[in-house]
Structure 1
Amino acid sequence: MDSIQKDVLPGLNSVWFVDEMKGWAVGNSGKIFGSTDGGTSWSEASNIVSSNLNTIEFIDQDNGWIGGNNGVVLYTQNGGSVWSVSNVGNPVAIKKVKFINATTGWAISDSLRIYKTLDGGATWTFLTSTFPQIKLLEDAVFLNERNGFITGSYYSVIGYKYFLVKTTNGGVSWSFGDSFNGHEPSALSFVDSLNGFIVVDYFNIHKTTNGGATWIVGTVYDRTGITSIYMFDHQTGWATGREGTILKTIDSGSTWRKQLVPVQDEFSSIMFVNSNTGWAIGQNNTLIKTSDGGITSLNGKNEVVELPRTFNVMQNFPNPFNPTTTIRYSLKEAAYVKIKIFNLAGELIRVSDQGFKQTGTHQFIFDASGYSSGVYIAVVEAGNMRKSIKMMLLK
């Protein structure tokens, strides 16, 4: 990686580059930033809306779209010189905008309400509400005017259920695809109508060569948690994860190698404009760039070179879980660590004395075999600092 920026773009949520030099970034409170030098410097566009902006996508140099809260969709037909404001007609948070050409596209909310446009985003039609009542969007992709996929989850009386659904009529109706034997599908990336990749259980990547009819089980096993995937072509792609993880394949997903990354942030997305030039978004408003496809190793070592800058407790993985889950925490400086587990009633049910831990990232495996289903609170105490996370045990 050849550059890193932190806190240059406050409230950063999504970045899209149309070539090696020109790109756009969107964030909270209606922030839109533009760059003409590959992301080295950014200028803020005039605030058009006040809603948080969640996602941005272009299909060429001219046509791009932004999805935001309160049903907001912005669109440009001149490379971002002018942004027009549209609305899907409901106060939902638009998390994905997917277009196959300058006129036809879909806007998808975090609650899986799907809207379609045939005029480039000026007007929108609500398509479906046939999904279960309580649901969450993970990812979406449309291959052409007819075929698309969505991954997500919903809560039932027996806990969270995860799904991959497919449409063959442009989103009018959806059918459940591969169940993955109860495992959780999340991020998607297709290079054409037949060849695609999907992240399963946040640590494995499966592949299809027949448009999702069947999936080939991959060999990736990264317990830090894979958060996104981007395939540039049939052979080359990248996947991002927690704790500064970026993986790369050059053999169509047969093998994935960890790249050297200058930060330990959790990366939420990655994109490339060619096989060498790409950007990844991390937590804390971090944006990193590579101009050589990413460095796979340095002096024969595949390791992150930067120590944690803050005390942080990552979300347990997996979550929900049964019966074990991993709690990871990072220390800016050495400290004596204890981990306490509480039930939702506030009762202390377990204490784990971790002892004196050095600067760096550590983990604790919580075994809940003797406990009933429900929400639990894990509190990590490091010296005089403490942070907590919620965990869901489903049996």
Structure 2
Amino acid sequence: MKKFLLLILAAGMFYFSNAQYKLVNVPDHLKNIKVKVQEPSPSPTGNGSTVTIIGQKLDEVIMGETIHDIQTYGSLQKRMHAYQDGTIGAIWMMAFDIPDWTDRGTGYNYYDGNSWGPYPTERLETVRTGYPCYVPFGENGEITVSHYLADPYWGLAFNKREEKGTGGWEEFYLAGPENMGIVWPILVTNGADNTNIHILARTYGDIYMGQDGALLYYRSLDGGNTWDIEHYFFDELGPDYFTTIDADEYSWAQPKGETIAFAVGFNHQNGYVMKSYDNGDSWEQILVYENPFTPYAGGDTPTYGGGDGSQAIALDSDGNAHVAFGRMCHVYDGGALYLYPWTEGLIYWNETMAPLDTTIISSYTLDHLIANGNLIGWTIPSGGDSTIIDFGVYYFSLTSFPQLNIDDNNRIFALWSAVAPGYNNGVMNYRHICGRASVDGGATWEQIKDFNTDLLYIFSECVYPAMSTAFTDDHVHFIFQTDNEPGLHTWTGGHAPTDNSIVYMKHPTGTFIGTGEQIAVPSVDFSLLQNYPNPFRDQTFIVATLEKDSYLSMKILNVIGQEVRYVDFGLVNKGEFRFEIRKENLPEGIYYYTVSNGQHDMTRKMIIY
């Protein structure tokens, strides 16, 4: 595995200190908090009324409820589908029986073209289940999958029917390898009549193929009657690449013919796209993000930039993969993994781009992501209020839970949940659903939209967006969960149990593209070339290009983040500025130099030998 050297900086000291594009203020006491990463739950066992939203030109329907409020430990499963005949099927994880959630299972509702059905009060399955997925099935049907405890091992429970919205459900099951459970499944279908079923699920129980949590693939070509591929283990995702595949940290793209693909990782470990051009017979591994601590080999690490484990993937009309994931800073300290929940940034990548690494993602700045065209989401102020008081704990970043879909015109639509300055209960800020679009394949992006700015959402925590992979009548369809308390009750215990609503929204694609009050894309007003030569023995040269006259400075740091040299260049005229670094009293080794114009910082690595 190719190793990328890590930019080693103290996140709390340097985080976004001078960035012009940093539009919100995170208090220092929050910046320096690191939270020990929680393993997923010790056991995998956890008529609508239309509301007119003034000024937002959207339809909103509350079409379900739940008290059990966690919907995913990472990437949200496919939860809804808008059909071309105007109907919609949608699901969520639902439970009301506090505190043991014995009634947990899949909540289901259906829009028949005129109205939603009554709120469900009983789960879809006959057994207690969790973390469901929903997609079209057959000519006009639908199918769900979730995990359940088939004592003593966990397995998968399916429910399908040939006619969506009506008739009885057929429940059937799938077991994992011998003496091994499988959990947290995700599902897609393809083929002429959507009868090809593709499943990814994570092992649960003993070590399997060298991993405590391995990702397995299953395929049925006849609607689940038989499985021609079972328990398929990806060597490319094995222990040489991941110590474990974490719960829900993988997601399917909507297939394009026989091209199927999924994203996996994007947390404290690497991130990959796995793609098959022959309907799952063979697979190609595509590196998207790499860090030097995958797989983790023990010991302490510096703070480094990576992903937060929530990601989404979509295929364009040519079958090229597009990925979005939340940014997160991590550190191993005393053998334990910690994260910094104040980290922000929604990262975008496609197959025309080079792989990302810890230097580009960074633990202290968004500049490199902006310069590379990889940043599409961040926290945005509201009405002049740019302060974040505090926020609920999800163990994810300030900008997380992305959804990504591409229409027939190769327009990309992204949704995510972000902490919202200006919306708080006096103690914590709420989260809102945000989105934006690209009409040129991800080269440029339209402005960010906040879909929860109406008075209705002043005291609303809006999370877990789930977008339909199909677009009908040039509309984007999605659901999300909302309540009046920041954070979660289930899993984190952040607040007392409370009622949560499952909300459906429909927007014209024009809402995403060029309409309404929007936020400008941040830009960097100077560039910095890599020093040359590098490595060097006595001296090396650097060129910075300034768009305007600027006060320029440079600091050099060693590999443990200590500043070993500082240079103030004073006021520098716009254009190219060439300067040199001499070895002088610097020992041989790896260094990082950061050039600042007072508004932005640029960092590069250099080696003295």
| TM-score, L = length of structure 1 | 0.63
SS at match of 1:295: helix
Residue in 2 that maps onto 1:376 = none
Q: Do 1:86 and 1:122's aligned partners in 2 also have CA atoms closer than 8 Å?
A: no
27 and 161 in structure 1: CA distance in 2 versus 1, 3 angstrom threshold:
same
The match for 1:9 among 59, 65, 68 is 65
- Does structure 1 residue 135 correspond to structure 2 residue 278? no
Question: How far off its partner does 1:97 sit?
Answer: 0.8
Identity %: 10
Residues 8-66 of structure 1: CA deviation (Å, up to 9, x unaligned): 33258522232433323243333332222466544538743232251101157613221
Aligned to 2:111: 35
Q: Tell me if the contact between 2:80 and 2:88 (Cα under 8 Å) persists in the aligned partners.
A: no
CA distance in 2, matches of 1:161, 1:214: 11
1:96 matched residue in structure 2: 186
Question: What is the CA-CA distance between 1:87 and the residue it aligns to?
Answer: 1.6
Using CA pairs below 8 Å that are at least 6 residues apart, which structure has the higher relative contact order?
Answer: 2
Secondary structure class of the residue paired with 1:135: coil
SS at match of 2:65: coil
AA aligned opposite 1:301: E
For 1:72, the equivalent position in structure 2 comes to 157
In the other structure, the counterpart of 1:328 is: none
Distance 2:514 2:412 in 1: 20
Which residue does 2:467 correspond to in 1? 270
Residue type at the aligned position of 1:84:
E
Please state whether the residue corresponding to 2:271 is helix, strand or coil.
strand
CA distance in 2, matches of 1:299, 1:22: 26
Going from structure 1 to structure 2, the CA distance change for 1:60 and 1:162 (only over 3 Å counts) comes to: same
Q: Determine helix, strand or coil for the equivalent of 1:27.
A: strand
Equivalent residue runs for 1:43-192 within 5 Å: 44=120, 47-50=124-127, 51-58=129-136, 62-70=140-148, 71-80=156-165, 81-90=167-176, 91-101=181-191, 102-110=194-202, 112-124=215-227, 125-130=229-234, 131-132=237-238, 134-136=244-246, 137-141=249-253, 143=255, 147-153=259-265, 160-182=269-291, 184=307, 186-192=311-317
Q: Which has the larger strand fraction?
A: 1
Is it true that 1:24 corresponds to 2:90 in the alignment?
yes
After TM superposition, give the deviation of residue 294 of structure 1 in Å: 6.2
3-state SS of paired residue (1:160): coil
Assess if the C-alpha contact under 8 Å between 2:109 and 2:117 holds in 1. no
Q: Aligned partners of 1:218, 1:76: CA distance in 2, in Å? A: 44
- 2:347 alignment partner, one of 190, 204, 210: 204
- Residue 74 of structure 1 aligns to which amino acid in structure 2? N
Shift of residue 247, structure 1, vs aligned partner? 1.6
Matches within 5 A, 1:371-390: none
Whether the 8 Å CA contact 2:404–2:415 is kept in 1: the answer is yes
Q: Are the counterparts in 1 of residues 259 and 319 from structure 2 also a CA contact under 8 Å?
A: no
**Stretch moving more, 294-303 or 252-261:** 294-303
For residue 240 of structure 1, the aligned residue among 403, 415, 426 is 415
Q: Is the 1:230–1:237 contact (alpha carbons within 8 Å) kept by the matching residues of 2?
A: yes
Aligned equivalents of 1:281, 1:140: Cα separation in 2: 19
Deviation string, structure 1 residues 183-236 (Cα, Å, up to 9, x no partner): 659310113343442115552222347xx9999x64543134251211123343
One-letter amino acid of the structure 2 residue matched with residue 48 of structure 1: E
Separation in structure 1 between the aligned mates of residue 516 and residue 436 of structure 2, nearest angstrom:
16
**CA, structure 1 residues 144+190, in 2 after alignment: closer, same or farther (shift >3 Å)?**
closer
Deviation of the 1:68 alpha carbon: 0.3
Distance change in 2, residues 1:95/1:257 (3 Å): farther
Aligned residue type for 1:34: Y
Q: Could you tell me how far 1:115 is from its partner in structure 2?
A: 1.0
Alpha-carbon distance in structure 1 between the residues aligned to 2:257 and 2:60: 38
Q: Letter of the 2:188 partner, please give it.
A: K
Alignment of 1:347-362 (within 5 A): none
Q: Give the counterpart letter for 1:16 in structure 2.
A: H
CA positional deviation for 1:175? 3.9
For 2:478, the equivalent position in structure 1 comes to 279
Taking structure 1 as reference, are residues 151 and 67 closer, same or farther at Cα in structure 2, changes over 3 Å only? same
Aligned to 2:18: none
Matched residues in 2 for 1:219 and 1:207: separation? 9
Instruction: Tell me what 2:518 maps to.
Output: 302
- For the 8 Å contact 1:4–1:289, the answer to whether it is kept is yes
Q: Is the 8 A contact 2:132 2:146 kept in 1?
A: yes
- 81-90 vs 183-192, which moves further: 183-192
SS at match of 2:252: strand
Instruction: Name the amino acid aligned to 1:129.
Output: F
Quickly say closer, same or farther: Cα 1:128–1:173, change in 2 above 3 A: farther
Q: How far apart are the structure 2 equivalents of 1:177 and 1:25?
A: 31
Quick one: distance in 2 between partners of 1:33 and 1:69? 20
Cα distance, 1:6–1:103 mapped onto 2, change above 3 Å: closer
Paired residues, number: 301
| Residues 5-14 or 60-69, more deviating | 5-14
- Residue pair 1:35, 1:41 contacting (<8 A) in 2 also: yes
CA contact (8 A) 1:143 1:193 kept: no
Give the aligned partner of residue 250 of structure 1: 439
Greater gyration radius: 2
Letter in 1 for 2:471: V
Relative to structure 1, the CA distance from residue 74 to residue 169 in structure 2 (aligned partners, 3 Å threshold; closer, same or farther) is: same
Contact 1:165 1:177 in 2 (8 A): yes
